[in-house]
Chain A
Amino acid sequence: MRDNPLWGLILIFLPLSLLSVGGGPSILAGMQNQVVEVRHWMSEREFIDLFAISRAAPGPGVLLATLVGWKIAGLAGAIVASLALFLPSSLLYYAVARQWNAHRGRRWHTALERGLAPIAAGLILAGSIVIIETGGTRPLLLAIAAVSTAILLWRPKLNPLWLLAAGGVAAVLIG
């Protein structure tokens, strides 16, 4: 039982699921620590490769967990790792969200919603700053982020995929 890699994946991702307050970054850091440093399932280099793949693909970055599961135990590993990471936190969040929405229209609910709006807005902006910093504050990348923001504010209807492609091409040609 102890040596079964699927069991090991559950033991890593289940607690991460419920401890990962703050979302993505806290999950990724915890995952790296467990998979590379504690369990030696892969080298730092291999983990960075998986991270690079998850960044190249669309979708949430935490799908890195699916990749780790895949690497350790194939398809079963991918499924087990994904379920272990997403299920517990999702059940908890769902229970809270349901309660939250059930009390819609109450005075305290309205006040909470209004009070949370600047918190959420602040967290989005703070998150953007943190992502810019971790992506490296190279002038070129900062410029791409700034230009992309300006264009999206100016032309909200423009399909962002064009901007993303242009950002990628600019980074290759100029960088």
Chain B
Amino acid sequence: MDATKLPAAVVPRVSLPELLGAFAKIGLMSFGGALSGWMHRELVARRQWIEEEDFLSGLALGQIMPGANVANLSLYIGQRLRGGIGAVVALTGMLLPPAVLVVLLAIVYERFAGIAWMHRFIDGVAAAAIGLLVVVGVKATRRIGWRAAPVAVLAAIVLMVGLMHWPMVPVVLVLTPLSVALAWPRGDGDAR
């Protein structure tokens, strides 16, 4: 049961340099995209700095709101671990090192622009990186369990946004209240 879920107080204390290092590492390793896959792997699975559901709610929130998903998710996790300064540190670690790198790459690009196999290589890397995303999706799906309501919501999102290419925002705006209502805990009245 979910009642055994640990309280917020068990969020581990992470130092700011550690936080910066972890995000810089993700920023610099994540060739081919799939940043949320890398973040999940590094921060949820390996370091266990943040719980799966917490991570997912930050991700969903970041997708519904304006801004790059990666930036929003970094802010979320940084805030969760070390408050305001943590959010700034996480975002800086995620963006600054790869930003410097990408500009350096642009400076030397002319030399490589004509090499045909480079584009094929990048395509292959990006294709392999998709695996990281799918794994997070599969893990998140498994965690939800085989209860009818959330599975139906999940399937509806995949169908509408993924396969039918309906615009994400209205789909999410309609399905979220539905999903929340279905997840509303039963029992005695809500005092808050």
Contact = CB atoms under 8 A, between A and B. Distances in A.
A, B assembled together: yes
Given A111-B184, A114-B53, A116-B57, A58 B128 contact: no
B68 A119 contact: no
What's the interface size class on B, roughly? 35 or more
Contacts, number: 358
Contacts of B97: 59
Nearest to B190: A107
Contacts of A172: 117, 120-121, 124
| Interface residue SS majority, chain A | helix
A141 B124 CA distance: 6
A152 B140 contact: no
Contacts of A88: 66
B131 A163 contact: yes
Given A63-B95, A111-B184, A171-B121, A117 B56 contact: yes
Interface of B: 2, 7-8, 27-33, 35-36, 38, 41, 45, 53-54, 56-72, 75-76, 79-80, 84, 87, 91, 94-95, 97-99, 101-103, 105-106, 109, 113, 117-138, 140-141, 143-144, 150-151, 153-158, 160-163, 165, 167-169, 172, 175-176, 179-185, 190, 192
Interface of A: 17-24, 27, 49-50, 52-63, 66-67, 70-71, 78, 82, 85-86, 88-90, 92-94, 96-98, 100-101, 104-108, 110-132, 135-136, 141-142, 144-145, 147-153, 156, 160-161, 163-172, 175
